[in-house]
Structure 1
């Protein structure tokens, strides 16, 4: 498949905010001994990638050609991974691989048309074989809990919107109470108009 590049003008706000959150999470966990990785995983690189999280995420957005909603779902998956794999905190050595993998899994689950693992590997700067292994490991890491209900999606959108308005440093991932995805059948109310929030994030 030929690469389809999106212009910078089409970059939705959620891309910049996700990058900011993940960079801060990685930096915090790098400095905080309590969040030091207690075991090595396939997501850990031997050295820190030279490309920033911001530039890496922008590259994924430009070339992966998945819907903006996929990035919110990928963010939800990263949060689930963080909660279910406490011995593998997100840091500067693994954040890039976790990011490309979460977007890949999200695109496959959310979009009708998506690129294959080989293409994502090229976008992410890794081999097809490694991309395959990362995908499998990530799926097991989140217990194959891929379903994201409208309630969960809206809850995360509300959180992201609030954080963007307040410009506060977020907590290391565990951003939304686990109940928002464990009890997906429960309904929730939101003070803000959800459709407007989502539109602001994806514009």
Structure 2
């Protein structure tokens, strides 16, 4: 009985998001030789030994934020990638970008959330670094944190579609994190989902 109580059921969004980020990071690792990339505060000196899936599961287990925060964190990562094209998500920065996007999402979405020191501990970084990452991320987003319900549902649908379409031969297909649509154009959103 104690084993059942300690088991945490991972929502599907964790699996979907970690799989997508893994593919994007691997793709950008390969492409870094072809395109110049800036180094930022999000880059580590080495690749973390923890997988994206395990890291995201750790964040989910200890941060206690709602599953919707992970979808909003995905929206934020997409916006960041669009606004910072010289900082593509790769295996050297994905973990720091992920903990920061979840932190910002939880602060924006949830009524109750942990402070930066707690998130730093969960993420395996110092509180000072967490503070710097948060500020840099917010400026990278131009403080554009609002996510409309249609945008939220579009990103949910995109994550589900990506998982349904994923196959071993299809991994190189998704070089970008985002689904390339204008959040204000709901007609364009529907066309993207129909493709």
Q: TM-score under structure 1 normalisation?
A: 0.83
Query: Deviation per CA, 1:98-148, whole angstroms, max 9, x where unpaired?
Result: 000000000000000000000000000000000000000000001100000
Match for residue 176 of structure 1? 179
The two structures, once aligned, show a CA RMSD in angstroms of 2.2
Match for residue 199 of structure 1? none
Match for residue 7 of structure 1? 7
Match for residue 122 of structure 2? 123
Give runs of ≥4 in structure 1 deviating > 6 Å.
Answer: none
In 2: Cα distance, 1:162 partner to 1:172 partner: 16
In 2: Cα distance, 1:128 partner to 1:59 partner: 18
SS in 1 for 2:38: coil
In 2: Cα distance, 1:25 partner to 1:98 partner: 13
In 2: Cα distance, 1:57 partner to 1:30 partner: 20
2:70, 2:102 within 8 Å by CA — same for their partners in 1?
yes
Instruction: Decide whether aligned partners of structure 1 residues 163 and 18 sit closer, same or farther in structure 2, where only a CA change above 3 A counts.
Output: same
In 2: Cα distance, 1:7 partner to 1:76 partner: 28
Q: TM-score under structure 2 normalisation?
A: 0.86
